Each structure stands twice: as structure tokens, then as C-alpha cells.
Structure 1
Amino acid sequence: MLTVVALALTACSSGPPKDTAAPAAPTGVTAASGSAQTVHVMWNAATDDRAVTGYEVYQQGRKVKDLPATTLMTDIVNLTPATPYAFTVRARDAAGNRSPHSTTVPATTLSAIAQDRAAPTAPKALRATADGSRAATLTWQPARDDTKVTAYDVYQADARIHTVPGTATTARLTGLRAGMVYSFTVRARDAAENSSPDSAPADLTTTPAPGAAPNTAPTNLKARAAKGEITLTWTAPSTGAPVKEHQLYLNEAFATTIVWGADPPPGEATYTFAVLTTPGTRYSVKLRARLPDGTWGDFSAQRTVVVP
């Protein structure tokens, strides 16, 4: 009987092997100063035998940022102007295993410019070109500033996703999803952290995955803000039947359903709705259509407007 119990305990004590393998060190680490007090650090996703769960950013060997696995860039702030710094990045898995440090990358903050309150002009002629299903290339014309443009920030749906030096007029974006509609804008920034207005948006749809259904997003969405209201215009997707309903999302939250009482208007549709009138308030809007089978289609590109 004792032997049987011992065997049972031995069997119960066995479990999955402990995860002792550390992730690989992140590659492609870059660091660039966009102002007198910030450095923008970026890197490529690391690999692990199971899964990377986070990243740690180190400044002069001291950890300054702890980030989730979905984040591949960050700003290091409150630095000293005109000062050299060095940065590394480590990956971490669920068991707490940490990768070796990445290659050390240097960056020197820009010199401070006193009393610079003038923002750069908005970049012009933004174009977005899909590179297959997972990447895109943006190009634009340079912005102007009374001192110097030190960085360009790329936004997708009003969220910053990429930064390039002020000498660049192109950016390559990776990690996109197949068959998705994206809307990009670019802002110029100077050494005093003054940011330009948004460029005009550039939309693109990445290449669908093989065998995927066609995209059903409304197209040509435009938004115009006036005192107390926003007016939208768009073109409904081609579904083989009239599209009589659209859902409107405001600041990423469902706001209302737009329903045509009769047949929907041919060509471009228009809808106006009321908003708070505090000057400078930003609103992001997007739409999706109800398809003939009763389901909701893909979201349109997102537009951001500012109350005048």
C-alpha cells in the first residue's frame, strides 16, 4: 500500500517542463532625439520559444521603461538638452526570463531654444502605398519651421505609431493587417516640442489575404467641423443592394445608427450631427455599413476634426 501511494504522489507531482529559455535580444533598435528633452526609441519584435510578454528599455544601464509586448517604440522624456545618452532594450517572457541586452544605441538631445512657441507648418502631399498585406510606405513634402523641423510623427486613427528624423520625408510601416483600411496623417515637430497641424489624411487598404472576402468599408469619408456640429460625407460600399443603415462611431465609441427612411441617396451621402462647442476639442469619426445579410461590414478610414 505504501508503494502504491508513493507512485501516485510521484505521478501527481509531474507537470509541464519549466520555461527556462530566454527570448532573443531585440534587433533593429534605433534612438533619435526629436527635441531638447526627448529621445524616441524603436525596435523590432523579439522572438521566444513561447511568447514575448514585454520589453524593458534601459538608459545608461538603468531601466526606465516597462512596456507590453504590443509596444515597439517609446519616448524617453525629461532629459537634459545637448546631452549624449545610450539606450538598450530587453525582451521578457511570462516566466520572467529576460533576453540579453540589445545593441547599445546612442542619441544626443538637441540644444534648447528659448521662447520658441511657433509650430511648424503641416506636411503636404502625403501619399500612402501598400507594400503587400503587412506593410506600407508613406511619403510627404517637407514642413517649414522658424527654427528647424527635428522630427515627423506618423499617426494612424489619431494615435502616434512611428517617428522619423526631421530630415526624412518617407516612412515605412510594418506590422499591418491584411485587407484592412488605414488612414494616416503626419505632423512635423521642432526642438521645443511644438507640433504642426495634421497633414491631409492618406488612406490605403492593405492587400487581402488569399481567399478573403472583399472589403466592405464605406469610402471617401470626409468630416468638416463647424460651431456646434460636424458634417460627414461618404460613399456607401457596393454590396449588391441598397445600404440603408450605417453605424457612426465617435472617439472610438458607438454614437448612433444612421437610417435612411426611404431609399438611400445615390452616390455621396451626407449626415450632420451636434457636438460640444468648446474650441479646440478633437473628435474622431468612422462609419460601417449594415450588409444585406444583416451583419455589419468593415470600418471606414477614420477622420479627426477639431472644433474651430
Structure 2
Amino acid sequence: MRRPHTTTAAACAAALFLAALTACGSTPEADTSAPTVPGHVTAQAGSATSVHVMWERASDDKAVTGYEVYRKTGTSGPEKVKSLPGTKTMTDIDGLTASTSYTFTVRARDAAGNLSAPSTAVTATTPAATPEDHTPPTRPTKLRGTVDGGRAVNLSWSRSTDDVGVTAYDVYQEDSRIHSVPGTETTAHVSGLRPGTVYTFTVRARDAADNSSPDSEAVDLTTASAPGAPASTAPTDLRVTNRAQGKEYAIDLDWEQPRTGGEIPAYQLYMDGRLTTTIVWGATPPAGRAHYRLTVTEPSGTRYSLKVRAKLPDGKWGDFSAQRTVVLGE
């Protein structure tokens, strides 16, 4: 015969047990904290139809997963024009109208969808269109740089000329544009870098028709190492030349090997950001400067960007050298 009070007691005990389990494995509280506001937003007209927008990273109690860029024209309300991943802190806004003033703001977003407040609004005015302008500005010259701690550098260069006018200077790091300043300026402060890392910078001038000059000469800068960080393992003083060999071109590279406390058995050669070959010495690794020749069949005028890194005595791959650019036939 069933005893009602026994059944009730068992049910109550089971309920208490389930409640205890739920409490121990309770769902985390919802993330309702918005990221901080992106700082130091700048907007620079790069041509008659584009504006380059940059900002400094926001922070969040979890992580910033993205940024949203808003554009305002005249009396119209802000319109979202770009959504970017959290790793990006700059973008080009294209498809604009010449001789028009635009206002931009940026908001940070976290994984829960929380948005920061809008950044300080910045304004940029696109220049007048210059139809049929196909002449690029001259190459910027005398590029120089200084290191500003472990995460920033300062660059300066001599002014370019153009048949209509230089509207912007673009700073490139290993073929990627990372910064832009107005055509009236010849200096740039580049932040957001990594400590103890070698960077190769070039600068191009741009006019209102979006014609870009050739690259300036490159400058290599190594940011200060973080306290207690190991020494850099990057090869230094990479030199690249080329010469014709019949219908082919020989690209000769030589570099100063890093001090690693042991022999370096191999190097990896990257061209245009991709691994091209692993250089393995057939005998005892060379001492002092290392040399390598690569043969290519591309036509004259082909441009390559090259960098190398060493295989360390512990089997890991070291830091990359500064990048060098070579144009076949030049």
C-alpha cells in the first residue's frame, strides 16, 4: 500500500536536488555592458569619391568584436555604412559625391550585441572631381622614421607634386595601407604596433582622381621590446637585386643572420605574403651573411615583395625580416 506522505517527501527531495543542480550550473548573467567609445577618430578625403576613416581601439569587459561606421550628410540622420571586425581600426568609405561635406562617427560592438555610444563626430569634405586626370603625383622622397616606444612610430617625408594637386599621403606597411594624412601634411604618427617587431614602411602620394604615385624608398623601424621579452630573431639588412638571364630573371637575396645561440638549418622565403620556398643548406650552414638565388620567369616590370625568417635551433620559426620590394628589370 502506497504511503502518500512518503511519496510527497520523495518528490520534495527530488525538487530540492534539481534546484541545487541548477544553482551550481546556473546560466551566466547576460552581458549588458557596452564597450568604451572608440577614440581619436579621423576622416580624410582620399579622392573626390572616397574618405578614409580611422580610430583607436575600444575596450570591453569581454571583448570588442566589431565596429560600425556611420555617415551623415546635410540634415539627414546618421546612416550605418560599414560593419567591420574588431581587428580593424580603419576603412575607406567609397561611392561619395565630389565637393560634399560628410560627417562620420564610429561605434564599438561586443559579442552580445551591445553598442558603445557614438564617437566624437568628424567631418571631411571631398574635393572637386578632376575628369580625365590620369597623371599620378611624383614619388615622395626622403622618408625617415623614429620609434616612439613599443607600439608607435613617427614618419616624415618630402612633399610630392602633381599636375592638379596632392590630396593625401598613404602610409603602407608591407603593401597594406595602414594610415592616411591630408596632402598638406608630410608627417604621420602610426600606432597600434607590436613591441619588439621590425616594420617596413613606404609612402605614396594620391590625387583627387585616385591616381597614386610610386612607392617612396622604404624605411625599417624596430619597435622597443617589452620588458623581459626575448631578443628579436629577425634576419637584418636584407638586400635584394635582380638581373636578366636569357628569358628568365635571377633574384639574389642576402641578409645578416640573427644570433640564436646555435646554427640556423633553414629559412623560409615569402613572396607577396605567401610562402614560396624553404631554403635548406646542403652542407654546414653558412656563417655571417647568408645568400640565396631565386629564378623566376615573369616578364620585366613584375613586382615582388620578399621577406625571410629563420628556423631556430629549437625547431621553431623566428621573426620575419624587414620586407623588400623588387621590380624585374629595374
Give the TM-score band, short-chain normalised: over 0.9
Task: Name the amino acid aligned to 2:177.
Answer: R
Q: Match for residue 177 of structure 2?
A: 160
Whole-Å separation in 1 of the counterparts to 2:29 and 2:103: 37
Match of 1:53 in 2: 65
Counterpart-to-counterpart distance in 1, 2:49 and 2:168? 13
Gaps of 5+ in 2: 1-9, 73-77
Aligned residue type for 1:4: A
Q: Does 2:258 align with 1:249?
A: no
Change (3 A) 1:266 1:251: same
Q: Which amino acid aligns with 2:133?
A: D
Question: Which residue number corresponds to residue 105 of structure 1?
Answer: 122
Distance (Å, rounded) in 2 between the aligned partners of 1:276 and 1:66? 41
Q: Distance in 2 between matches of 1:109 and 1:224?
A: 41
- Highest CA radius of gyration, 1 or 2? 2
Q: Distance in 2 between matches of 1:293 and 1:88?
A: 48
In structure 2, relative to structure 1, the CA distance for the partners of 1:62 and 1:181 (3 Å cut) is same
Residue 175 and residue 242 in structure 1: after superposition, are their counterparts in 2 closer, same or farther (change >3 A)?
A: same
Q: Secondary structure at the match of 1:297?
A: strand
- 2:278 aligns to what SS in structure 1? strand
**Secondary structure of 2:40's aligned partner:** coil
Residue of structure 1 in register with 2:135 after alignment: 118
Assess if the C-alpha contact under 8 Å between 1:218 and 1:299 holds in 2. yes
Shift of 1:169: 1.0
Task: Quote the residue 2:162 is aligned against.
Answer: 145
TM-score by length of 2: 0.86
Query: What corresponds to 1:27 in structure 2?
Result: 39
Query: What is the CA-CA distance between 1:307 and the residue it aligns to?
Result: 3.8
DSSP-derived class of the 2:307 partner: strand
Residue identity opposite 1:7 in structure 2: L
Given the two structures, how large is their TM-score scaled by the length of structure 1?
0.92
- Alignment partner of 1:274 is 2:283: no
Structure 2 distance, partners of 1:82, 1:275, is: 46
Let me know the Cα RMSD of the aligned residues: 2.1
What is the aligned-residue identity percentage? 58
Show the counterpart of 2:150: 133
* 3-state SS of 1:237 partner: coil
Cα distance in structure 2, aligned partners of 1:53 and 1:294: 34
Corresponding letter in the other structure for 2:62: R
Query: 1:283 matched to which residue of 2?
Result: 304
Change (3 A) 1:260 1:7: same
Deviation at 1:281, TM superposition (A): 3.8
Q: How far does the alpha carbon of each residue in 1:33-68 deviate from its partner, in whole angstroms, 9 at most, with x for none?
A: 121000111111112222111000011211110001
1:223-264 Cα distance to aligned partner (Å, 9 max, x none)? 234554322232222345554532212222222222344455
Q: Counterpart of 1:212?
A: 229
- Matched residues, number: 308
Paired position in structure 2 for 1:238 = 259
Divergent runs of 4+, >6 A: none
Distance 2:86 2:296 in 1: 36
Gaps of 5+ in 1: none
Q: Is the 8 A contact 1:158 1:304 kept in 2?
A: no
Alignment partner, residue 16 of structure 2? 7
User: Conserved in 2, the CA contact under 8 Å of 1:113 and 1:191?
Assistant: yes
- 2:326 partner letter: V
